[in-house]
Amino acid sequence: MQNKAHLLASTWEAGTTYAKALDDGLFASARKLADAASIDLSQLGKALALARLPVDVVAAFPSPLDLQYRWAPLLTQARQKDPDHVLARARALQTEREKLSSAQVLVRLLEGGGTVPPPSSRKLALKGKNGQTAEIKLDAVKRSAVIRLGNIDPKRFADVEIAIKTLLS
């Protein structure tokens, strides 16, 4: 199993392989499987959660190969709180003409219902002295931030660089 785990190209493929191994009784427990596959038990749980999503939820995505480990807790929580809503959203997404990215599908699946998903994006506007401005746009799905600084003294860019390096370290 260990060698095969390294050949899997996606989270989805890994999850379905792990689920089949457990369902077929090849391993006595998820812990034994995680040990054999040399993966963290938490990662195995996320892969299994994605592999065990309802067919309609998986079909809402452009490809199941796009599913990501970090989406498993979000989808699991949404399904636990309002499974009918998530299934209804998934079925509606399958019939839409607009082609969405997998990240956009995730956001749509988490919208409304009994869940409170993390905002897909958020903007924060800041004002400083002497007309200095900053806008920070956070994107939870892409796990990214865009920072725009206005009317900033070029001598302060070194301070910005230090602050970002500190954040990343």
Q: How far apart are CA 169 and CA 164, in angstroms?
A: 9
Give the SS3 label for residue 122: strand
Overall size of the chain counted in residues: 169
114 and 79 co-located in one domain: yes
What count of other Cβ atoms lies within 10 Å of the Cβ of residue 43? Answer: 16
What is the reported pLDDT for 112?
A: 67
Judged against a pLDDT cut of 70, whether residue 119 lies above it is answered with: no
| Per-residue pLDDT tens over the stretch 51-68 | 999 999 999 999 999 999
Confidence (pLDDT) at 20: 93
Summary mean pLDDT of the chain: 84
Mean pLDDT value across residues 158-169:
82
Region 123-128 average pLDDT: 85
Choose the weakest-confidence range: 28-32, 34-38, 101-105, 129-133.
Answer: 129-133
Of the pLDDT bands very low, low, confident and very high (cuts 50, 70, 90), residue 163 is: confident
Task: Rounding to the nearest 10 degrees, give the CA dihedral for residues 158, 159, 165, 166.
Answer: 160
Reported as type and span, the H/E element at residue 125 is strand 121-127
Q: Containing domain of residue 40, as a range?
A: 1-52
> Above 70 in pLDDT, residue 113?
no
Which tops the pLDDT comparison, 57 or 7? 57
Residues 131 and 95 in one domain: no
Do 80 and 102 belong to one domain? yes
Q: How many domains is the chain built from?
A: 3
Report the alpha-carbon distance of residue 111 to residue 73 in Å, rounded.
15
Do residue 137 and residue 92 come from a single domain?
A: no
The residue among 43, 45, 71, 70 whose CA lies nearest residue 58 is 71
Both 20 and 73 in one domain: the answer is no
pLDDT at 49 over 90: yes
Read out DSSP for 34-103? HHHHT--HHHHHHHHHHHTS-HHHHHHSS-GGG--GGGHHHHHHHHHH-HHHHHHHHHHHHH-SSPPPHH
Residue 116's identity, in one-letter code, is: V
User: Do 52 and 84 touch, CB atoms closer than 8 A?
Assistant: no
Over the stretch 144-162, which tens digit does the pLDDT of each residue have? 888 888 888 888 888 888 8
